Chains A and B, each alone.
Chain A
Amino acid sequence: MIHLLQINPSTAEAGSYLPVAIQLIFAVGLVSVLMVATHLLGPKRKTSDKLQNFASGIESHGDARQPMAIKYFLTAILFVLFDVEVIFFYPYAVNFKELGWSGFWAVLMFVGFFLCGFTYIIKKGALKWED
């Protein structure tokens, strides 16, 4: 594994991508072989129940595509946004000493911009749950 990472990129040529090509052929081949094989080998028992939509075992009723309140999406996407922010703190925490004050100011600026965004969404009422 270490050996693979140490290939000098300047000498790497198209030929060195051969393993990738083999992997690609293998991936496509495996999927197609398995799909064809299951169709040929598996028993065929067609019943009307099998043609129903699968709804975790209970009988399906109604359409799944109903309009939903936008606030669920908003809350979810904002959660993802602010959750990802924390990920950026990990590399900083690991290199805290080495980065020194300049790193500190950079992170402070990052947090500052994020706080701006946070105030903005609160002021815009994106997190207001009751109508």
Chain B
Amino acid sequence: MNALILSAVLGVIMMFSGILLKQKSAVRGVAITGLAALLLVNILELRGIHFFKIDVAGMMYFDRFALLFISIALFATLVYFILSAKDMEKVGADYAEYFALIFFIICGIILVASFKSLLILFLGIEIISIPLYILTGADKRNLKGNEGSLKYFLMGAFSTGLMLMGIALIYGAAGTFDVEKMKFAIETPAVLPVTGMLLLLFSMSFKVSAAPFHFWTPDVYDGAPTVFTSFMATVVKAAVFIGFIRLFDETFGTFQVKWQMWLAVIAAVTLFIGNITAVFQQSVKRMLAYSSIAQAGFMLLAVYAMNTSAKEGILLYAAAYSLATIGIFSVLNKLNDYTFEGFNGLAKQQPVVAGALTIFLLSLAGIPLTAGFLAKFFMLKSVIDTGTGLWLVIFAVLMAAVSVYYYFRVIQAMYFKEGKADITVTGRFKWALVTIAALIIILGTFPNILINWLYF
């Protein structure tokens, strides 16, 4: 609750800072300070200090899972601001407004992570989506950005329609929006809740870009300004996954047998399409878009398994995936050439940047000692714990092996190809990258420093 109210207020503050403050560095300073304060009050709430006592009529519930995820999302956003906030200046004239929109998105993320009523879920998803449509088209003169923005808007509006229809059917069956009061029969659920569940499954798959609902993703991620793709593909996607898990755990948990098979199929198709298509990309930005689909396939395994290690694992996965991808995008921002050739010879010019980038890529590929490995391990373990779906585990491991190919192409270009990568970075940027790379290795060695927050 602390972070929810403060993030909405900070959004308004950022709007006015664009008018009052003339210098862009001052605007950036306000944004970073505000986000650090947001992270602080949220951690305070995790430790039991509440600033606001508001009666929400049971529509939201801030448990440890929600609060810990919000902390991870806020931390990832802070890292994103520190690494990439300066690159937002290149997008357009409305510098402060971009920050304001991101703060409003955070507001939606907090709603999605803590909903107890389907109305709040819907509100949260919309508060996340609408600023994202604007950010996608933020570079007004870029035709690809405009195309991506329109596509995203139409697809997003369509899937929101599906979601509303699903919520309406579930309301028709249960007579309430409150997930606590919904009790559906285990053995033979009626037609209405099952139809509603399917519609919600499809619309949530749209939002997390799971195949076969992923067609908007490459165009939108490729068309949007790279700084915003970085945010969209990481923090936002992880937040929608948390909403996905809560929805299917709390609302439809009673008839898991009915939807588990559907989710297994969606996860397998997502892993297959994401990984195989990423192999054929020539642009690193587009490769990362398909890689985000592939990683979504792994995160879907947590929704499939829905047990303790799935819930612990999805938090670790959100942290590992967000940090690594934000790091890679922040380097991509500095390059002018987004193809694999653009990375040629980077290791000779910027050994520190190339080293950090290598750790990020290893983490995404799931190599041991990095956070990405343990995140993937938790996902696979959670599926094995359910006792079913061993074929899914084997398939996921095979697909992770495929992913090594396209992640290592970047490493290969950096270290073993001759060329002149066109990049200039500041010393502070290098330090930030190295810190995040160290963090990924620490998380990969001692994952409990993150997961223990759930229990004490």
Contacts and interface: CB of A to CB of B under 8 A. Distances in A.
Contacts of A9: 171-175
Interface stretch (A47-55, A80-88, A93-101, A116-124): A116-124
A10 B174 contact: yes
A120 B191 contact: no
Contacts of A124: 19
A113 interface: yes
Interface residues of B, number: 12
B12 interface: yes
A12 B191 CA distance: 11
B143 interface: no
A13 B19 contact: no
A31 interface: no
A14 interface: yes
User: From DSSP, what is the main secondary structure of chain B's interface residues?
Assistant: helix
Interface residues of A, number: 13
Contacts of A10: 174-175
Given A9-B172, A12-B172, A123-B19, A116 B191 contact: no
Interface in A1-53: 8-10, 12-14, 17
B15 A120 contact: yes
A37 to B, nearest CB: 32
B167 to A, nearest CB: 13
A6 B27 CA distance: 55
B262 interface: no
B13 to A, nearest CB: 10
Nearest to A112: B12
A14 B172 CA distance: 9
A77 B171 CA distance: 33
Contacts of B175: 8-10, 12
A14 B19 contact: no
Given A12-B173, A120-B19, A113 B190 contact: no
B6 interface: no
A13 B173 CA distance: 7
Interface string B243-273: 0000000000000000000000000000000
Contacts of B172: 9, 12, 17
Nearest to B18: A124
B453 interface: no
Given A10-B174, A123-B19, A124-B19, A116 B12 contact: yes
A65 B28 CA distance: 41
Nearest to A102: B55
A123 B18 CA distance: 10
Given A9-B174, A9-B175, A14 B15 contact: no
Contacts of A12: 172-173, 175, 192
A13 B191 contact: yes
Given A120-B19, A123-B19, A124-B19, A13 B12 contact: no
A10 B190 CA distance: 11
B446 interface: no
B192 A13 contact: yes
B190 A14 contact: yes
A39 B132 CA distance: 46
B214 to A, nearest CB: 31
A114 B170 CA distance: 34
Pairs A-B, 10 closest by C-beta atoms: A9-B175, A14-B191, A123-B19, A10-B175, A120-B15, A116-B12, A14-B192, A12-B172, A13-B190, A9-B172
